[in-house]
């Protein structure tokens, strides 16, 4: 059996991290089994569509390198892969259910849905009257369905009302289109969120009504906030696009999301996508909800930033400088990149971390009045002017000389020098600051006061 998995989002807005995890797990399972990863756009709820929603979804999948094998613009014989283009297919199949009495028509009469169980009478009315189609579910029986994560799940069919499968606008509901498409597109494994468990018996009834072989079902645990509340799609800062905008790397986001519900056999936490394809298994997905721990994401992103190749990170720095109209700087890009890489958690923190080296120090000059700064600055400017090269040893000698000659040390030394050099009382050590600024720029800033 050739494995075929699918990610089937609605183009109703941005890609949520929950959707990213669903796409990722489907992608990993397909690739691990030399199968196909399919993208299907479920746009049957026409009232919720967002302009360019399909394009945004495809673009975000490209950004994170979850490239689908089959789907919109990559069709095979089982398409089209946008549901609004499959209405004739759905009509053929719901008519089949009506004729074999697995479903029935309900007509709109005075704002009420009135069922018509006589098939022949119902079919005569559908050309001229507004109707919906309902699936027959009501039963005294119980249904047991196997889930690859949760094992056997029991449902009491007495508690489930007959659902609408075709709406009055002619579009199928999720339940109907989902089942028809999964079967016709030869989906072997349905890997989706836990919120669809309650719909599972309706889907199984549809498979049985068509006498179709069912795929394997796998329902992923919920994503939770640290307070155990559901991570909501209404929270704009949990969209994949916002994470990119906020300076998170795609590799760290993929790595982090992969661990939201799944865990490897050991305690390893950093994985490449190739590692994940090799190690991922449905058997190691948890049943319980997965906590979205932003602190852990920040730690992971910081680790990935540290491992960005030097040349690549220097290009990132240069682009930040261009974005902030910084030109013709004499600061060594290698030094600034090495300094910055170890200190930031996200890429959008770069400018805040390095701007003190590129902009004139901005601070309240009254802050210097608490210190004997004039003699201190004179000593440092003179000492640095006679120095050919900056070293930690040389800076330490000037620090010791400041203490010996002027009796200035500790915060009385570091605070005024940091203020005049980088505009802030606290920050990196003096050697780091002077090494990045260079001797000429350091002396210039000291003598400006």
Residue 345 phi/psi, 5° resolution? -105, -35
Q: Do 163 and 30 meet the contact criterion of CB atoms below 8 Å apart? A: no
List the strands of the sheet with 164-166, edge to edge: 112-116, 103-109, 131-135, 164-166
Residue 56 parent element (H or E): helix 53-63
**Number of separate domains in the chain:** 4
Task: Quote the DSSP letter at residue 344.
Answer: -
CATH number, residue 441: 1.10.10.350
The pLDDT score that the predictor gives to residue 233 is 56
- Helices 174-184 and 200-210 pack at an angle, to 10 degrees, of 50
Strand 223-224 to strand 290-291: parallel, antiparallel, or no bridges (unpaired)? parallel
The reply to whether 60 and 91 lie within a common domain is: no
The per-residue pLDDT for 358 is 95
- Is the same domain home to 170 and 100? yes
List beta partners, residue 155. 143
Angle, helices 333-341 vs 350-358, to 10°: value is: 140
pLDDT tens-place string over residues 101-110: 999 999 988 7
Q: Please name the residues in contact with 398: beta carbons below 8 A apart, sequence gap of 6 or more.
A: 379, 380, 383, 384
At 116, is the secondary structure helix, strand, or coil?
strand
Cα–Cα distance for residue pair 168/173, rounded to 1 Å: 10
The residues with which 145 forms a beta bridge, in sequence order, are 153
Q: Does 269 lie in the same domain as 159?
A: no
Token pair 């991922």 is found at 280
Q: What percentage of the chain reaches a pLDDT higher than 70?
A: 98
Instruction: Give the span between the Cα atoms of 416 and 412, in whole angstroms.
Output: 7
**Is the CB of residue 428 less than 8 Å from the CB of residue 339?**
yes
Do 116 and 184 fall within a single domain?
Answer: yes
Domain boundary among 220, 244, 278: 220
Asked if the structure places residue 191 within a domain, the reply is yes
Residues of the chain with pLDDT under 70: 13, 232-237, 449
Residue 295 in any domain: the answer is yes
CA pseudo-torsion sign 31, 33, 38, 39: negative
- Cα angle 203, 209, 215; round to 5: 45
77 inside domain: no
201 within 8 A of 137, measured Cβ to Cβ: yes
Please compute, for residue 102, the number of CA atoms within 13 A of its CA located in the half-sphere on the CB side.
18
215 and 101 in a single domain? The answer is: yes
**What is the domain extent for residue 174?**
86-220
What token pair was written down for 107? 């007509």
Specify whether the CB–CB gap between 300 and 255 falls below 8 A: yes
pLDDT digits (tens, 9 = 90+) for 230-277: 886 555 468 898 999 999 999 999 999 999 999 998 888 999 999 999
- Domain closes at, from 220, 245, 269: 220
Claim to verify: residue 209 and residue 231 sit in the same structural domain: no
What is the strand order of the sheet 4-7 is part of?
A: 36-39, 4-7, 189-193, 216-220
Q: Are residues 34 and 20 located together in one domain of the fold? A: yes
Structure-token match 């309706």, residue found: 202
Whole-prediction pTM: 0.92
Residue-level pLDDT at 245: 93
- Which pair of tokens denotes residue 40? 């299907």
Instruction: Give dist(CA 304, CA 313) in Å, integer.
Output: 11
The CATH number assigned to the domain holding 48 equals 3.40.50.620
């Amino acid at each position: 059996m050739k494995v075929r998995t699918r990610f089937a989002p609605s183009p109703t807005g941005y890609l949520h991290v929950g959707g990213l995890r669903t796409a990722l797990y489907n992608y990993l399972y397909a690739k691990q089994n030399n199968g196909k990863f399919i993208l299907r756009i479920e746009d049957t709820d026409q009232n919720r569509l967002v302009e360019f929603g399909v394009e945004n979804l495809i673009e975000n999948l490209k950004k994170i390198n979850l490239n689908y094998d089959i789907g919109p613009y990559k069709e095979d014989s089982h398409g089209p892969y946008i549901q609004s283009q499959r209405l004739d297919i759905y009509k053929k199949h719901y008519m089949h259910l009506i004729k074999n009495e697995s479903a029935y028509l309900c007509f709109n009469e005075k704002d009420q849905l009135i069922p018509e169980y006589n098939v022949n009478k119902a079919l005569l009315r559908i050309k001229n009257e507004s109707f919906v189609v309902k699936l027959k579910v009501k039963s005294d029986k119980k249904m047991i369905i196997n889930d690859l994560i949760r094992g056997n799940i029991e449902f009491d069919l007495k508690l489930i009302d007959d659902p609408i499968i075709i709406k009055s606008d002619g579009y199928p509901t999720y339940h109907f289109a989902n089942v028809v498409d999964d079967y016709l597109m030869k989906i072997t494994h349905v890997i989706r969120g836990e919120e669809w468990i309650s719909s599972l018996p309706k889907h199984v009834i549809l498979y049985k009504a068509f006498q179709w072989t069912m795929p394997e079902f796998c329902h992923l645990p919920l994503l939770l906030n640290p307070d155990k509340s559901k991570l909501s799609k209404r929270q704009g800062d949990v969209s994949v696009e916002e994470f990119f905008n906020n300076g998170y790397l795609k590799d760290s986001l993929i790595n982090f999301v992969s661990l939201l519900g799944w865990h490897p056999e050991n305690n390893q936490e950093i994985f490449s996508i190739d590692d994940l394809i090799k190690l991922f298994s449905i058997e190691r997905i948890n049943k319980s909800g997965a906590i979205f721990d932003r602190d852990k994401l920040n730690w992971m992103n910081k680790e990935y930033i540290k491992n960005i190749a030097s040349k690549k990170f220097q290009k990132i720095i240069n682009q930040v400088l261009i974005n902030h109209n910084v030109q013709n700087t004499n600061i060594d890009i290698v030094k600034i990149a090495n300094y910055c890489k170890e200190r930031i958690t996200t890429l959008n923190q770069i400018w805040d971390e390095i701007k003190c080296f590129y902009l004139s120090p901005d601070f309240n000059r009254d802050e210097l009045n608490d210190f004997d700064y004039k003699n201190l600055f004179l000593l440092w400017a003179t000492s640095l002017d006679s120095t050919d090269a900056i070293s930690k040893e040389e800076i330490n000698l000037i620090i010791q000389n400041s203490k010996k000659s002027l009796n200035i040390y500790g915060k009385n030394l570091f605070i005024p020098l940091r203020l005049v050099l980088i505009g802030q009382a606290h920050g990196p050590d003096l050697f780091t600051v002077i090494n990045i600024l260079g001797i000429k720029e350091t002396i210039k800033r000291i003598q400006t006061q």
